[in-house]
Each structure stands twice: as structure tokens, then as C-alpha cells.
Structure 1
Amino acid sequence: MAFSQALSGLKAASQNLDVIGNNIANSATVGFKAGSMAFADMFAGSKVGVGVRVSNVIQNFNSGGTTTTDRGLDVAISGNGFFRLEASNGTIYYARNGQFLLQPDRSITSTEGYKLTGYPVAGTPPTIQQGANPVPITIPEGIIPASATTKANMQINLTSNSQIPKNSPFSPGDSDSFNWVTSTTVFDSLGNPHNMNLYFVKTADNNWDMYYQDGSIPALPAPGAPIQPSATGPGIPIVFDTNGDIVSIDGASNPPLINMTYEALNGAPSADFEVDFSNSTQQNLAANSVSDNFQNGYAPGEFVGFQINDDGTVEGLYSNQQRQLLAQIVLANFANPEGLQPEGNNVWTETRNSGQSRIGIANTGNFGLLTSGALESSNVDQGLELVNMIVAQRNYQANAQTIKTQDQILGTLVNLR
């Protein structure tokens, strides 16, 4: 019996060395999870055991360290969760290795060619369809179309000691008929820019008229010529109180909004947009000024790149400085990650022991964090593995010594006369 006990011990120690050697070999493998051997004793109808067997190899799914790479396609997971990958035959794999590649078909894949999956986008502007079935993420290279301006914000200050212009009526071609002109650029449905000129004319203390004109219309009226209503329209009264705050614009007090119109141009129709003059003032500063000027339209733009954000969203970057959502990386988690089946190539598949995958996004529920431009290192502790190697070696030597001792005892029995 001692021979079989020792042989089982030799086999178990050898397999333990295999696990330790595999851990050390993968100490630089991105996202690798160290394994440890679980042993069980064996009995055969008596209180004296017949040896040892390997009952399981347990993987340690604790997070490894995060290493910055500054590579846009590298993503690290800290905490719970796995990337969800899809093979060409439809098999679903799960991985912690966030080293991804962009393929000629514009899909994002693992280094082994499995496609990274995530939530798709839909609508205009595109929004993430959370809860939809995850699909392979692709990076389209198309343009982002123009978006017509519908809202604008301008925060201005009109100098309170300005004098009433000496010429009247107002004419955009006569600088002596207005106090100040400023402009804001807006966009139509085809992305044509419209330079909207805003003219301010003081009519009395705390009272001003504002005129606007679409500067994309080639010809301005000559000095003294009548104003074209389609280009400028009537003056819009602006009233301030004695503290320099807006009382009303065009008779409306709250909020201080007006509607402006840009003209039809190059196939795009004429359209209205809303301008908000909130927080504008009349104060005795050295000059009239604009401290805030924003509008929500933009010209079309060409694709120049993409970015993976820490929340897993993938954004396209365009030449017009705009960003557009393309997809969002999903994470998968399991009731028992240790029940996953390792398949090599740094991936696992789900089993009955792991339970079915639960899909979600980073930093929600029990899902961990994503870090773009970084990778999760192997969680192998080399110092611990070297100590474990010494222990396994001693176990192997001790079991071998058991065989040697039993052999000596049998030899003594054989030599008895």
C-alpha cells in the first residue's frame, strides 16, 4: 500500500509543479488568472488512506494590476466582469485581456480574432440601446452630417454711457446709424455657415434696438437705402433696468429669448432659430463686449479617428470637432466565475457551474471599472509561486523517499534466512 500511496503523492506533486510552472510562464500574460491545485485524500474501506488525488485546479479571479499603455485600443478591467467576445462560428467567449485590434472590416477583435461585442446605437443623434442584444462592435468611417442650428446663447454687455447715434434710420451700411455690431455663426441643414450680424442702436437711456442680418446674403444695402425686411427685419427693443439687468426683449420678460431667421442658401431652406440673451447686462465698461457665444449647430465632418472611454462608450471623432456615439462595450459577469471553463488563448466559456452570463456596463451594479489606454497585468505573484515550487519539490522528494524506504524494508524481508 505504501508504494501506491507514494506513487499518488509523486503524481500529485508533479501536477502541482505543472500548475506552478504554468503560472510562472504566464506571469507576463495580460489578464491571466493564476491557478492553484486542490488535493483530496483517498480511502478504500479502511481508516488507512491509499493516497492523494487532484480534486480540482482553482483559478484566482482577483484583479491584476493596471498598467498604462496610452494605446487607444487597450482597455483594462478593475474588479468584476469579463469582455464578451464572439467567434466567427458564433461561439461566445469571455476574456480579461483587453488588447484589441482594428480589423480591415472595421470590427474590433481580440488578438486571436474574436470580435468584441457591445450595445449598438440607434436614432438621430445616435444613442446607446442598453438592454438590446450585444452585437460585434464596428467603427464606420462615414461622415457625420450637418446639424442645423436651433438654439444659440449670447451673453453681452452694452456700454451704458453710449450716445444715441447721430444718423437715423438704421442702415447696416452706415456705421453712424448704430453703436455696435457683433456676429455669431450658425449652420443650416446642409452645413452652410451663416454669419449673423447683430446691430445694436441706443434709442434712450436703458433702451436699445437690435437688428440682425444674415451676412451670407452677398449684398448689403447702401448707406441711406431702405432696409430689406427679409434680410434684417424691424428693430427688436431691449429694455434694461437701473441696475443694468434685462427687463424685456421684444416685449417678453422671462426668459429673454428671441427668434431669428437665416436665409435660404445653396439648396438649404430658410429656418428660424432661438437666441437666449440670459445674463446680458448694460454696464459702464470701456467697450461693448460678448462674454459667451454658443450655438448647437455644426457643419458636416469627416471621420478622423475614434476613442474608447472609461465607461465603455466608443465615440467617433470628426474633422468638425464633433463626437458621435458608435457603440458601448458590454461586460459579462457570473454567479461563480471559478466555474468557467478555460479554453486557452486567454478566454473562458460558461458552464453549468459558472451559471449563465449576466450582461451590463462598467461601473454599474456588480461590474468593475474600465480604464482606457491601459491593460490588466497577470495576477501571478512570482514570489509566492517560487515558495510554492519549493514546497512541491519537497513533497515530491518526500514521496520518493517513501518508495525508497519501502523498497529497503522489502529487501530486508527477502534477505531473511
Structure 2
Amino acid sequence: MGFSQGLSGLNAAAQALDVVGNNIANSQTVGFKSGSVSFADVFAGSQIGMGVQVSGVSQNFTGGVLGQGNSALDMGISGDGFFRLVNEAGSVFYSRNGQFNKDADGFITNAQGMYLTGYQATGTPPAIQPGAAIGPIQVPSTQMPAKASDSGTMNGNLDSGSEVIDTTANPFDPSNSKSYNSVTQVDAYDSLGNKHTVNVYYVKTADNKWTVYSSDTTAPKLDANGDTVYQQQNIEFDASGQLTTTPAKINVQGSPYSGGNALDFDIDMDGMTQQATDTAMNSPSTTGYPPGAVNGYVVGDSGEIIANYSNGQKQTLGQVVLSNFANPAGLTSEGNNAWSETPASGQPVNGISGTGNLGTLFGNRLEASNVDLSQEMVNMIVYQRNYQSNSQTIKTQSELLQIVTNLG
């Protein structure tokens, strides 16, 4: 039996060295999970064993270190979970390798052409709808359409020490600077994305009392005589400088411009105050914007794929789904940094980053291999010694047989 025992030891040590070699070879493979070999003794109805066998090779699914990614669509998982991938045939695979790019059709794929899955944003503006189906995520590079301004906000301070305007002697007239105390410009956009400049004028008519006028200076609203029509709103403050008019809104109206619809929306002034300091408005704004081209993408920590546009806007285009298993060690390795489900692994539990027992997904990060090179070098030395020792038992058995043969 000595030969068979030694031979089994040689085979087991050789397989163990194969596992170590594979680990070392993949020490720089993104998302790779190291393997470890398990041994079992062999008995065949005798008190002396028949040798050793490799009972299995298991994978270590502990996380690797997250490093900087090379692409805006690179992703890394900290904690438990896998990226869910499908191939063109619809077969589902799971991976920890977060190296992704877009294909010609805008789908997010890995290097093997498998599609990253998740929730696709739909609607206008795009959003993740409740109950959305899981499928390949597509990030189109189409232009974001313009949005007409339908509301605005303006807050700041009106100087309580401003001169009261005699509206009888100086009726409101934008061309007469003595007929108003100050003016603020607000940018707005029509249905085609044409930019309009809206002027908002402030006229102090008495202590704590003001009249606010507005005009779309780009495409003014005109009356029957061709004169500009100004919208107006009276507002009042108390002795503490707090606004008492509610709601305080100034309407903006204009005329159609370059094919776009006329402006017609309200600017909310509820945040206005009146104090003994200079008049100053805090970045007045409206909801509209011009059309924009895609400037790039970012991946949020919740797995949202967010597009940045040249008009300063952002839109969510999709959200990555993660999967986890009751027994990840039961997954079958399919190569190319991918695994597939088996009865031993259990069925996948799908969800978004940071929910349930799923880890956190980070954009522009990549998970390094979890191979411990120092430990692998030690294992290699141990298995090498084991191989040498088993070869020595075979050599010894051969010498004993030679002695017996010589006795004959």
C-alpha cells in the first residue's frame, strides 16, 4: 500500500499547488476570490489508511480592497452581494468584477459582453418606477429636451432705509430709474429652451410697503396699443421686517418667442425680508432649462446611474441591482469572474445597494482580488515539502522492494 499512499499524496499535493498557482496568477484580477483546498483521508476496510484525497476546493468570498476605478461606469461592492449579469441568451450570472462600459447600443456590459441588470428609469423626467422589472440597463446618449420655466423662487432683503417713491410724480417706468428703488434679473426658459431675461422691479410706496413689478424683457407681453404690460404685486412687512403678505407671488408673463410658448409662471417671494441693510437677492432661480448634451455619467452609492448634461442638469437613467445567496460557497464558477446559481447556493435575493443583507455599491471604484500573496507563498512552500515527502515514501518503498528482491 505504500506506493498507493505515496502516489495519493503526490496527487493531492499537486492539486493543492494548482490551487495556489491559480490564486497567485489571479492576484491582480479584479473581483477574484481565492480558493483553498480541503483534504480527506482514504480508508478501505483496514486500520491503515489508503492515503489522501482532495475532498474539494472552496472559494473565499471575503471582500477585497476597493481601489480607484478607470471608468465612470466602474463599480465596487463593499460587503456582501454580486452584480447580476445576463448574456444574450438570457442566462443569469453573478460577478464581483465591476469593470463596465457601454456598448454600441448604450447598454452597460462587462468585458465578455454580458449585460449589467437593474431597474431602468422611465417617464419624463426619467425616474425609477415602483415595481419596475429587472433587466439590462441602458444609458442613452440622447440630448435632454428643454423644460419651460413653470415656477421660480426669489428671497433676499429689501433695504428698509430705501427712499419712498412718489408714484404720482414718478409713475413706474423702467426707463426712469427714479420710479423704482432696485431691480433684479432672473433667467427663465420657454418650451424650446430659449433663454429669457425677466426683470423684477421693487418700488417702495410707504414704510413697510412695496409694489413689485415684473416683465419678460426678451419677449414682453404687449397690450392692444403695443405697450409693455407689467405684472404687479403689493407686499407688506411688519415692524420686525417679516413678510406679512401670503402668499407673496409675482406673476411673469411674456409673448411667444422664436417658436416657443409664451412665459406664464409665478415667482415665489415668501422668503423676502425687510431690514436696515442693503437690498440683495439670494440667487433667484426658475425651474426651466435649455436642452443639454450628455457630458458624462456617475454611479451613486445607491447604485443609481446618473447622467450629467451640458445645461447643468442631472437625470437618473437606471439603478443597479445586487444579488446575494444564503450560501455563496455553493455557487459554481463559470470562469471570466462569473458564477452561476446551484441548488447548494440557494436562490438569489435581489435588491438595491445597502438594503437587507446586501453590501454598499460605490461608483468609480474597483474591488481588488482578495488573494493574500504572503499566505499563498507559505502555502506553496508547505505543499512543495509535502510533495517531496510523499515522493520520498515512494522511493523508500522502492528501495525496500529491491532489498527483498536481492534476498531472493
What TM bracket, shorter-length normalisation?
over 0.9
Task: Select the residue among 186, 190, 196 that pairs with 2:188.
Answer: 186
Could you say if the C-alpha distance between residues 160 and 80 of structure 1 is closer, same or farther in structure 2, counting changes exceeding 3 Å?
A: same
Give the root-mean-square deviation of aligned CA atoms: 2.1
Which position in structure 2 is the counterpart of 1:279? Answer: 271
**Structure 1 Cα separation of the partners of residues 123 and 239 of structure 2:** 48
- Matches of residues 307-322 of structure 1 in structure 2 within 5 Å? 307-322=298-313
**Structure 2 Cα separation of the partners of residues 73 and 178 of structure 1:** 53
Amino acid corresponding to residue 184 of structure 1 in structure 2: V
Could you say if the C-alpha distance between residues 130 and 376 of structure 1 is closer, same or farther in structure 2, counting changes exceeding 3 Å?
A: farther
Amino acid corresponding to residue 402 of structure 2 in structure 1: G
SS class of match (2:344): coil
Which position in structure 1 is the counterpart of 2:60? Answer: 60
Task: Select the residue among 197, 202, 205 that pairs with 2:204.
Answer: 202
**Structure 2 Cα separation of the partners of residues 178 and 8 of structure 1:** 99
Could you say if the C-alpha distance between residues 70 and 25 of structure 1 is closer, same or farther in structure 2, counting changes exceeding 3 Å?
A: closer
SS class of match (1:375): strand
Q: Does 2:243 align with 1:241?
A: no
- Output one character per residue of 1:313-348: Cα deviation in whole Å (capped at 9) or x when no partner: 111221111111111111111111111111111111
Contact 2:184 2:199 in 1 (8 A): yes
Which position in structure 2 is the counterpart of 1:356? Answer: 347
- Output one character per residue of 1:341-394: Cα deviation in whole Å (capped at 9) or x when no partner: 111111111111111222111122111122222211111111101111111111
**Deviating more after overlay: 388-397 vs 308-317:** 308-317
Which position in structure 2 is the counterpart of 1:410? Answer: 401
The unaligned stretches of length 5 or more in structure 2 are none
SS class of match (1:94): strand
Contact 1:171 1:227 in 2 (8 A): no
SS class of match (1:55): strand
| TM-score in terms of structure 1 length | 0.91
| TM-score in terms of structure 2 length | 0.93
In the alignment of these two chains, the number of paired residues is: 405
Which position in structure 2 is the counterpart of 1:395? Answer: 386
**Structure 2 Cα separation of the partners of residues 84 and 309 of structure 1:** 17
**Structure 2 Cα separation of the partners of residues 243 and 357 of structure 1:** 62
- Matches of residues 79-98 of structure 1 in structure 2 within 5 Å? 79-98=79-98
Could you say if the C-alpha distance between residues 131 and 36 of structure 1 is closer, same or farther in structure 2, counting changes exceeding 3 Å?
A: farther
Contact 1:231 1:263 in 2 (8 A): no
Regions of 4+ moved over 4 Å: 218-221
**Structure 1 Cα separation of the partners of residues 236 and 125 of structure 2:** 38
Could you say if the C-alpha distance between residues 204 and 160 of structure 1 is closer, same or farther in structure 2, counting changes exceeding 3 Å?
A: same
SS class of match (2:155): strand
SS class of match (1:247): coil
Shift of residue 171 of structure 1? 2.1
- Output one character per residue of 1:193-226: Cα deviation in whole Å (capped at 9) or x when no partner: 23221111111111111111111226999xxxx9
Contact 1:172 1:220 in 2 (8 A): no
Amino acid corresponding to residue 232 of structure 1 in structure 2: Y
